[in-house]
Amino acid sequence: MLFRSTNRRATNVHVRDRGRFNQLHPLLCRDFLRTERIAANACGVFKQRLAWQSSSAQSSE
């Protein structure tokens, strides 16, 4: 799901069932990346490269 907030930034919302085991995974990942700057930066670079590759692939179609 993709929503637009009042500040016009895109927001990606993940919906999970309460009490399910996988409910904790995104929270644990978020908390890890908030405390580990090197890992957070590496993840950011990885996501930017994926976005660039995706946009490049779409523009060549």
pLDDT tens digits, one per residue of 8-50? 666 677 788 888 888 888 889 999 999 999 999 999 999 999 9
The answer on pLDDT for 2 being more than 70 is no
Instruction: Give me Rg for the CA atoms of the chain.
Output: 15
Sign of the Cα pseudo-torsion (59, 46, 12, 4, in order): negative
The answer on pLDDT for 3 being more than 80 is no
Residue 4's pLDDT is 59
Residue 55's pLDDT is 81
Cα–Cα distance measured from residue 31 to residue 25, given in angstroms and rounded to the nearest whole number: 10
- Give the Cβ contact number of residue 33 at 10 Å: 15
